[in-house]
Amino acid sequence: MIQRIPSMLASRELPHLGSTLAAVLFLAWPAIVEQIMLTLVQYVDTAMVGSLGSDATAAVGLTSSTTWLFNGFFNAAAVGFSVQVAQHLGAGRQEDAKKVTWQALQFVGIFGVFMGAVAFGLSFFLPAMLDADPAIRPDASLYFRIIACAMPFTLISNMFSAVIRCAGDTRTPMILNLIINVLNVILNTLFIYSPRTVSLFGREVFVWGAGWGVGGAAFASGLSTAFVACMFLIVLFRKKSPIQIHWKQRYSFERHCLSTAWKLGLPVALERSTLCIAQIVITAVITGIGTVAVAANHLAVTAESISYLPASGVAVAGTTLVGQAIGAGRKDLARRFARMVSWMGIIIMTFGGAVLYFFAPQLIRIFSTDPQVIDLGSQVLRIVAFAEPLFGASIVASGTLRGAGDSRGPFLISLATMWGVRITLSLLLAGRLGLIGVWLAMAAELCARGLIFMIRLYRGKWMHIDLFQTAGETAKNS
């Protein structure tokens, strides 16, 4: 299949539907597993911290929107470089793809340290800025401070997961994120809990523990991420691939590469910024409702995330395939890939919504034993279940559009729907309906976003974007 995709791009004929579907599934299934592994890290953290009580859960949940904001900047940087890799490889420019990979490596060293330092400084003031309950402020601050220290490694993992996937290899990121999940479980067990004796196969076994609680969960996640980030770097230098790089063949920053990364990544960063600022506003609204609402909201968001993991995996395949098809000049094939993966996202998320609706209480019970939290979390999960199909459309369509170099469109759509629909309705409904009103607003916004994304996808203007017009003309003249 790895050889079939380049031959598909080189052929002048449109391949039959079965071949197109096979290419999507070949890239999608490891990406789906990878997304599940990443989310399981969050699940394990939440479940283990949840055993410490609602205050501990609320402390972790309080900073989740801000963490998502920083991760959004990292994802934006990854889009800026990885889409270039996909399109260069689609056009047969392997050396240019390696140059982009080298520049991405240099970029993560500078940007990762800078963002980690910013987050570290912010950690001392964030809980108070969000008007959190004084009882949870110390743990929330400590949790975010430790996560900040690991942010350079988070950027490395995000960047090179994306670059390797856009080179057509979705299995390696899957394997490495399986490692991070297993390692995180082990380290959580050691650093969250105090020393204790457990029963194992009928025998009492002493287990050492640091007893750091919320801080232990953050430390375990950070250490796991750092280890896997190093593994990604080893893969880049040691594994044979179209983007394998060598110390003896280094490249400095190039203006065109950085300007293209800026053009691709800035709208993604702005999109995530506006979304996260909106989430922080909503978090502040929910914080005013009470600690139970904060805990229920965090657990419901965590539980909901499992429903869209398959759609996120399909979006990864869409970004790679559309990016390489556009790079090869196969707009007909790019259109087919884009439409196919978008409808796959809708179908997958329909099943995901059904899971949320029928198993809402069971999903919340994974993380908490508090009856109030379980009841409220179950109610809001059943509300958002009806919006999941169109949410899936927006996830996958966004990925395919970015693969073609269209980052501006997703930004404008998300900006309009988040602030025009979700924030407005949340402010109107929260006072009367509490957390339920906030989630009704979210469901309405997800539906609006999905419809607009599908309209943009079918209009097809994204197929006429040329990221490398200048580079292509230069190569032609030489």
Report the alpha-carbon distance of residue 432 to residue 168 in Å, rounded. Answer: 50
What pLDDT shows up at residue 1?
46
Residue 381, pLDDT score: 94
Q: Write the DSSP string, 61-85.
A: HHTHHHHHHHHHHHHHHHHHHHHHH
What residue spans of 328-459 are helical by DSSP H? 331-358, 360-365, 371-384, 388-403, 408-417, 424-433, 435-459
How far apart are the C-alpha atoms of 438 and 26, rounded to whole Å? 38
Instruction: State percent of the chain over pLDDT 70.
Output: 92
**What was the pLDDT predicted at 45?**
66
Which pLDDT tens digit goes with each residue over 221-253?
Answer: 899 999 999 999 999 999 888 899 988 888 888
- pLDDT of res. 429: 92
Query: pLDDT tens, 83-110?
Result: 999 999 988 899 999 999 999 999 999 9
Backbone angles phi, psi at 197, to 5 degrees: -110, 130
Burial zone of 33 (CB within 10 Å; 0-12 exposed, 13-18 middle, 19+ buried): buried
Q: Are strands 203-207 and 196-200 parallel, antiparallel or unpaired?
A: antiparallel
CB atoms within 10 A of CB 428: 12
pLDDT at 469: 64
pLDDT of residue 285: 87
CA atoms within 13 Å, Cβ hemisphere of 420: 9
Token representation of residue 125: 């003031």
What angle is formed at CA 452 by the lines to CA 448 and CA 457, rounded to 5 degrees? 150
pLDDT (tens digit, 0 to 9) for every residue of the chain, 478 residues total? 444 555 555 555 555 566 677 777 778 888 787 777 666 666 666 677 777 887 888 888 788 778 878 988 998 999 999 999 999 998 889 999 999 999 999 999 999 999 999 999 999 999 988 888 888 899 999 999 999 999 999 999 999 999 998 888 888 988 998 888 888 888 988 998 888 887 777 788 888 888 888 899 899 989 999 999 999 999 999 988 889 998 888 888 899 999 999 999 999 888 888 877 887 788 888 888 888 888 888 888 878 877 777 888 888 888 888 988 888 888 888 888 899 999 999 998 999 899 999 999 998 888 788 889 999 999 999 999 999 999 999 999 999 998 898 988 989 998 999 999 999 999 999 888 999 999 999 999 999 999 999 999 999 888 888 877 644 443 443 3
Euclidean distance between CA atoms 105 and 107, whole angstroms: 5
| 3-state class (DSSP) for residue 261 | helix
List the alpha helices (DSSP H) in 63-170: 64-90, 94-123, 126-129, 137-149, 151-166
| pLDDT value of position 475 | 40
